[in-house]
Amino acid sequence: MQVVAQPTGNYGSAASSAAGVIPFERGAPSTAKQIGQIPANYSQGSGTVVSGTTANQATEAALLAYPGGVVDRVVKLSNGEYEVHYIGVNWPHHVFVNQDFTVVGAD
C-alpha cells in the first residue's frame, strides 16, 4: 500500500515551523535525530500493524508534515498513538502521530 498526499498551501512556511516540523532537502544530512514527543515506552518493532482508514489518516498526517518519503506501514503503539514507518528520505524514519492524527514527534 502506498498513499501519496499532496500538501495544500505552503508547507515550508511559518505554519510548518510552528508545528515543529524540521524542513529537509532530499539527500541532505540531518541536523537532528529526534524531535517532539517520542513515546517513553517506544521500542522499534513493537505494536500492531493497522490498515484502512486509520492507517490512511496517520499516513496523510505524516506525509503532510514530512513530504517526500514513502510510508510502508503504520503501527498502533501500546499508548494508542501511531508510528508511521517512513522510508525513502534521510530523516525521519519514524513519525509519531497521536489519536487525533496530529504529528507529535519524529526520529
Domain ranges of the chain: 33-106
Which triple of cell numbers denotes residue 65?
508534515
pTM: 0.69
End-to-end C-alpha distance for the chain, whole angstroms: 22
Q: How many residues does the chain have?
A: 107
**pLDDT (tens digit, 9 = 90+) per residue, 96-107?**
999 999 999 999
Angstrom distance (rounded) from CA 98 to CA 82:
6
**pLDDT (tens digit, 9 = 90+) per residue, 38-84?**
888 888 888 999 999 999 999 999 999 999 889 999 999 999 999 99
R_g over Cα of the chain:
13
